[in-house]
Structure 1
Amino acid sequence: MVDSGARGNKDQLKQLSGMRGLMADPSGRTIEIPILSNFREGLSVLEFFISTHGARKGSADTALRTSSAGYLTRRLVDVVQSVVITQPDCGTHEGVRAAILKSSDNFVVEKIEDFIFGRVLAKDVYEPGTGNILVNPETGKVYQRDTVILDDDAKFLSNYKKRVPVVEEKVLDLSDINIPEVYAELAEDVDLGTEVLPSESELNWEVIKKLRESRVKSVKVKLYPIVGSVVAEEVIWDKERKKQLAVEEEQIDVTVAKMLEENNIDSIVVRPEIYVRSPLTCEAEHGVCAKCYGLDLSNHKVVSVGESVGIVAAQSIGEPGTQLTMRTFHTGGIATTADITQGLPRVEELFEARKKTKDPEGIFSKVKGVVVDISQDEPKKIYVQDELGTIHEYVVPSRVRVNVTIGQKVLPGQSLTTGSLKVRKILEELGVEDTAMYLLREIKKVYVQQGVDIHDKHFELIIRQMLNKAEVIEPGDTDFLPGDLVPITILNKVNREIMEGNANIELNRKRVIGKVLAKHILIKNEEGQVVELAKEGEEITEELLEQLIKYNVKDILVINHDKEREVYQIMPKETVKYRRKLLRITQASLEYEGWLSAASFQQTQQVLTDAAIKGAVDYLKGLKENVIVGQLIPAGTGFEI
């Protein structure tokens, strides 16, 4: 029965021949009376009644919670329905760092191999210790930027580890133009006559230039080949084995390398640092680009432009949600940690970014450092010392347990206690990337525990929509208002244009001399009266330009030699200052730029009233709006390139 794989496992065999054991009641608490009989012997009346909880809960779940799984799917579809592959490449150099995904309770959610499969490299992958681009010796494939990672590549990169020396001393010949491929610094003070370069100065082009100008032919340097790679060993302790110096999956920086050197550690096992493109970091203004999405998992080829990846993602996540609800009665009510009460409610809690969670709230480290003390007096406190020697105090809430020990190294975002972390706090303290990775780990964990395997990119598309908006704090010289929620891609584009305009001011001031104003210019004088500074058709002279600058006129509209109108910026503009926001999926759907899609989702009267007051225009960019008005959807064959 067990080996056939058809139905049943060791747990059910134990119930047939051993004892049924402890049961769980509908709320997940363990009933203290164990069932000592097995099915072969038969159960007593009391044992039979204790064991009916599982069957009853299963029936109730099937009836009640299938509807909530369907509702979750509807919300997910609504939040990502407009996400289509809009271009082959957005050109970003950003990406996410490949790592073993571990949840806050140290459960391994995903290995590196599965994390990087089907993605595109955002940066070159360098061989640890040499600084050369990594090459697969079997296939000859070079792992440089824009390489697609297939099955064999994912296996090779995830298993590639190398023992690398911590520090090497070397005399560098300065007649050789090349700078060392690995991090290097001066091993001793160098007297240049006019100044002294202290030891431990980083060896960069500026330092090399000074050394060459002072006719220094060679210099003694320290090379740190491990800087820039990732620790592949579990834990590295100091000499007394009291303090952890480095932990698995930690990026090695100069501080860590020097601590290893001080503790006489000659070499450690490391793996290369891998950055992959992701929908989370895609810079496409609408939808996502093909390279940030990666392979189409239906045919293992790079995804086509026009593919409606949003709908695919929502249905890939929503459909197994019905399995999550119905899995309860398969366990027959046996008391296990992964009872389904964590399933769908936990997924919904994360997607809806609930302020109040069902589990007690845990705390996380805001810095990279070592736990130096844990005080047991109420309230308990954890003290973490960062790399600069500053002590950070964390008060432990009463309902949670401490899950770190003295001497343990902690990384930013790592849980210090049991309990679930508040997503909004992670966003405030650590930023967007840590928030996105926490959501990914925790949502994926629920599915993995139920044996459902979904690729990360589907979750990332939903999380991208949740983190896509920013709140304007200071609008600067733009048309936004404080408090406006604007897509982050638009804010970045506006700020980029302002900075480019600011860089061209001097050139523009020269260009406008001799040109004719296309529009008159009004200003407020010292008395606060509005007066005309220049008339339409007036030629711009040096004197007029000085007046415009004095009264802080930023843009002027002129007529070119080709009789065309053109705007020139002649004064610096302020960029927009904003704060990233986390929207729950329902709110993200209602904050969608087009009103038709939002109105057809929820709160129809409110959405239509708001749209009417604003005089909102829907440009029919998503799929839903086009279905409503009876047009071809802008995806697949209906996508206009």
Structure 2
Amino acid sequence: VAQYFTSTHGARKGLADTALKTANSGYLTRRLVDVSQDLVVIDEDCGTDNGLDMYAVVEGSEVVESLGERVLGRVTVNPIVDAKSGEEIVAANTLIDEFAVEKISDAGIDHVLVRSVITCESKSGVCAKCYGRDLARGNVINKGEAVGIIAAQSIGEPGTQLTMRTFHIGGAASSAAVASSIVVKTSGAIRLHDVKAVENKDGNLITTARSGVLSLIDQHGQERERYKLPYGATLQVKDGDSTEPGMTVATWDPHTRPIISEATGKVKFVDFEEDVTVAVTADAETGLSTLTVIDPAERSTAARDRRPQIVISGKKKSDSSTYFLPANAVINLHDGSQVAAGDVLARIPQESGKTADITGGLPRVADLFEARKPKEPAIMAEATGTISYGKETKGKQRLVITREDGTTHEELIPKWRQINVFEGEQVEMGETISEGEPDPHDTLRLKGVKALASYMTKEIQDVYRLQGVKINDKHIEVIVRQMLKRVEITDPGETTFIAGEQTSRQRVLEENVRVEQLGGAPAQYKYILMGITKASLATESFVSAASFQETTRVLTESAVKGSFDQLMGLKENVIVGRLIPAGTGLAYHETRKESRHLDESLFLQKSGENELPPGDANGETEQPAE
């Protein structure tokens, strides 16, 4: 009987979950369709020379998606040339087919710049070259294809296969199995990217950068494995070395974070006072004493502003370097001892891994498309420059970045956030200062549209890949393009906009064309990221927005503003019962407009001949008000 009850419990849970999942998945599809319904292929080529850089997706020792799979059916921006023979494999502005993919992988090319809907410069809709291959037919997409709705359906339909609940990952068992080394699975050549390192006395390299990546390249030049290198990792290999399967190439201590000396010289302790700023503990077995920096919150009021630091003075006076020590750092050195470059000055114990709930499945996809800010976002460097710490305020630490021109950027960061950078260290704009989940708004602001596109594509693909669902990157890019429809004017130039105004990108591009024809300065703008619900409500068409959500609000606001709906999208036209501007309807509307213009010009010519006095027949007509 007990077993019967447990099985009924499980069965009911499964059925209830499926019922809820269908509703949630349906709502996601509806929001996606609503945000992307007006995106149609409107011309053959927008003429842009911009695109996205495509690399193979490699996680650890597994090639998740090869470069060939990612660029198949895309259009190249530049010619793809074989580095060894100098032969052109694929010309510029050419669709990459299966034959070209084979050539690319044989030539060992590791990245390709391809056209993308995100960088497409068509004013409304997208061009066929930026979209590439029609995934249903296998040739270049036709004009009039409703790519927005296709994208929304392709992402929304497999939504029912995703899980609803969050997974519990973490706890004692998994935190014990934290990685502490990199062991390569295949043979190849080591390539280091963005790695800053110092050589220690054993001749090994110790990394002093956080964004370093180690990859393994096979004999064809293809990337086979890719690993992140943490700060303070000891490298057993150098750039260009060859490896054997099972070889350990890097090791580090997973439980503490080191502070590495980048200089050789004599140690001097500053602001070290026993039981005031540092606590001394002696090991009973070895008799060695260690110093631990006392947290400022636990010190006496007088000692709170004192900052323990290690100064290493070299042979010349100018060679000295200072390392500020954060709270709880453990120091095993003595005042006056000698250190070499690559030595560990202090270790900061890492918090034992918090039990992380990994939001999986549908809720994760919805969070990404709604561009929600994560609970504990990663803190990124707002400028490129040198790190220093200012005066602390209650519960917050003041981080100062000094740019090369001497201007500074200050930021207050809560004390409980673990900051990964040390005083005097150089950081690049957009580099992670404190670990956490990246905030897409920060990514867009600090790293740009392309970085945002690759982040969104990767994160959404990870969720679907876990369930074994294949979705083409193009569909995700189409939705991201729609999320970036709005822009903020940074410099109005000689346009009718004002600085700080938010408007649609399409309007800015049209206004810029008008001003440039008159010889004026165009407006400069920056993109704003909007979640799909907000983007649907902020669309140019009030008929479409009102039929989506918050009908009364949308209609009253439109009435007050005196909005004018041009009926450009599909949904508005369905609502008023016109032929939709997609497929054959696109051609129908285009010929209708052309014939109307022809009629108007003929009418003006005739009326000009009959009525206007000679010399006044300039044939000009007033533009209809928008």
8 Å Cα contact 2:67-2:111 kept in structure 1: no
Separation in structure 1 between the aligned mates of residue 95 and residue 368 of structure 2, nearest angstrom = 31
Select 2:29's aligned residue among 58, 73, 82: 73
Separation in structure 1 between the aligned mates of residue 436 and residue 545 of structure 2, nearest angstrom = 35
Aligned CA RMSD, in angstroms, stands at: 4.5
- Equivalent position SS for 1:605: helix
Q: How does 1:607-622 map to 2 (within 5 A)?
A: 607-622=554-569
The aligned residue for residue 438 of structure 1 is 455
Q: In the alignment, is residue 89 of structure 1 matched against residue 45 of structure 2? A: yes
Select 1:487's aligned residue among 483, 501, 504: 504
Q: Relative to structure 1, is the Cα distance of residues 384 and 65 closer, same or farther in structure 2, using a 3 angstrom cutoff?
A: farther
Post-superposition shift, 1:314? 0.2
What TM-score results when the alignment is normalised by the length of structure 2?
0.54
The aligned residue for residue 172 of structure 1 is none
Which one-letter code corresponds to 1:361 in the other structure?
A: P
Q: How does 1:543-622 map to 2 (within 5 A)?
A: 573-622=520-569
Q: Relative to structure 1, is the Cα distance of residues 453 and 391 closer, same or farther in structure 2, using a 3 angstrom cutoff?
A: farther
Post-superposition shift, 1:366? 7.2
- Equivalent position SS for 2:77: coil
The aligned residue for residue 377 of structure 2 is 361
Partner deviation per Cα, 1:8-34 (whole Å, 9 max, x = no partner):
xxxxxxxxxxxxxxxxxxxxxxxxxxx
Post-superposition shift, 1:153? 1.6
- Equivalent position SS for 1:62: helix
What TM-score results when the alignment is normalised by the length of structure 1?
0.53
Separation in structure 1 between the aligned mates of residue 159 and residue 483 of structure 2, nearest angstrom = 19
Separation in structure 2 between the aligned mates of residue 363 and residue 102 of structure 1, nearest angstrom = 25
Q: Relative to structure 1, is the Cα distance of residues 298 and 369 closer, same or farther in structure 2, using a 3 angstrom cutoff?
A: farther
Separation in structure 2 between the aligned mates of residue 301 and residue 352 of structure 1, nearest angstrom = 33
Q: In the alignment, is residue 347 of structure 1 matched against residue 294 of structure 2? A: no
The aligned residue for residue 580 of structure 2 is 633
The aligned residue for residue 19 of structure 2 is 63
- Equivalent position SS for 1:274: strand
- Equivalent position SS for 2:360: helix
Q: How does 1:35-46 map to 2 (within 5 A)?
A: none
Q: In the alignment, is residue 305 of structure 1 matched against residue 143 of structure 2? A: yes
Post-superposition shift, 1:156? 2.7
Q: Relative to structure 1, is the Cα distance of residues 410 and 474 closer, same or farther in structure 2, using a 3 angstrom cutoff?
A: closer
Q: In the alignment, is residue 118 of structure 1 matched against residue 73 of structure 2? A: yes
The aligned residue for residue 540 of structure 1 is none
Q: Relative to structure 1, is the Cα distance of residues 446 and 610 closer, same or farther in structure 2, using a 3 angstrom cutoff?
A: same
8 Å Cα contact 1:324-1:340 kept in structure 2: no
Separation in structure 1 between the aligned mates of residue 458 and residue 532 of structure 2, nearest angstrom = 17
The aligned residue for residue 529 of structure 1 is none
User: Gaps spanning 5+ residues in structure 1: where?
Assistant: 1-42, 136-141, 162-270, 330-334, 372-377, 503-572
Separation in structure 1 between the aligned mates of residue 420 and residue 15 of structure 2, nearest angstrom = 37
Q: Relative to structure 1, is the Cα distance of residues 322 and 480 closer, same or farther in structure 2, using a 3 angstrom cutoff?
A: same
Which one-letter code corresponds to 1:100 in the other structure?
A: A
- Equivalent position SS for 1:147: coil
Partner deviation per Cα, 1:581-631 (whole Å, 9 max, x = no partner):
001101111111111101100111111111111211111111111111111
Separation in structure 1 between the aligned mates of residue 421 and residue 70 of structure 2, nearest angstrom = 27
Which one-letter code corresponds to 2:544 in the other structure?
A: S
Which one-letter code corresponds to 2:128 in the other structure?
A: A
Q: Relative to structure 1, is the Cα distance of residues 151 and 427 closer, same or farther in structure 2, using a 3 angstrom cutoff?
A: same
User: Gaps spanning 5+ residues in structure 2: where?
Assistant: 168-172, 175-354, 388-394, 591-626
Q: Which has the higher strand share?
A: 2
Separation in structure 1 between the aligned mates of residue 491 and residue 380 of structure 2, nearest angstrom = 31
The aligned residue for residue 445 of structure 2 is 428
8 Å Cα contact 1:126-1:272 kept in structure 2: no
- Equivalent position SS for 1:302: coil
Partner deviation per Cα, 1:461-495 (whole Å, 9 max, x = no partner):
00001012102244343223455432324424433
Which one-letter code corresponds to 2:67 in the other structure?
A: I
Single out whichever of 310-319 and 412-421 deviates more from structure 2.
412-421
Separation in structure 2 between the aligned mates of residue 427 and residue 291 of structure 1, nearest angstrom = 25
Q: How does 1:142-181 map to 2 (within 5 A)?
A: 142-161=89-108
- Alignment size in residue pairs: 397
Separation in structure 2 between the aligned mates of residue 113 and residue 387 of structure 1, nearest angstrom = 41
Single out whichever of 414-423 and 436-445 deviates more from structure 2.
414-423
The aligned residue for residue 348 of structure 2 is none
- Equivalent position SS for 1:639: helix
Q: Relative to structure 1, is the Cα distance of residues 327 and 370 closer, same or farther in structure 2, using a 3 angstrom cutoff?
A: same
Runs of 4+ in 1 over 4 A off after TM superposition: 51-57, 105-109, 326-329, 335-341, 363-371, 378-388, 390-405, 409-418
Q: In the alignment, is residue 472 of structure 1 matched against residue 499 of structure 2? A: no
Separation in structure 2 between the aligned mates of residue 418 and residue 354 of structure 1, nearest angstrom = 18
The aligned residue for residue 278 of structure 1 is 116
The aligned residue for residue 319 of structure 1 is 157
Which one-letter code corresponds to 1:145 in the other structure?
A: A
8 Å Cα contact 1:474-1:482 kept in structure 2: yes
Post-superposition shift, 1:64? 1.8
Separation in structure 2 between the aligned mates of residue 108 and residue 367 of structure 1, nearest angstrom = 34
Separation in structure 2 between the aligned mates of residue 342 and residue 398 of structure 1, nearest angstrom = 30
Separation in structure 1 between the aligned mates of residue 401 and residue 47 of structure 2, nearest angstrom = 40
8 Å Cα contact 1:469-1:485 kept in structure 2: yes
Partner deviation per Cα, 1:160-201 (whole Å, 9 max, x = no partner):
32xxxxxxxxxxxxxxxxxxxxxxxxxxxxxxxxxxxxxxxx
Which one-letter code corresponds to 1:124 in the other structure?
A: P
8 Å Cα contact 1:58-1:326 kept in structure 2: no
Give me the identity figure in percent: 45
The aligned residue for residue 8 of structure 1 is none
Partner deviation per Cα, 1:547-599 (whole Å, 9 max, x = no partner):
xxxxxxxxxxxxxxxxxxxxxxxxxx453243320011011111111111011
Which one-letter code corresponds to 1:289 in the other structure?
A: C
8 Å Cα contact 2:164-2:362 kept in structure 1: no
8 Å Cα contact 2:487-2:503 kept in structure 1: yes
8 Å Cα contact 2:384-2:403 kept in structure 1: yes
8 Å Cα contact 1:470-1:578 kept in structure 2: yes
Q: How does 1:355-434 map to 2 (within 5 A)?
A: 355=373, 357=374, 360-363=376-379, 419-434=436-451
8 Å Cα contact 1:471-1:578 kept in structure 2: yes
Post-superposition shift, 1:100? 2.7
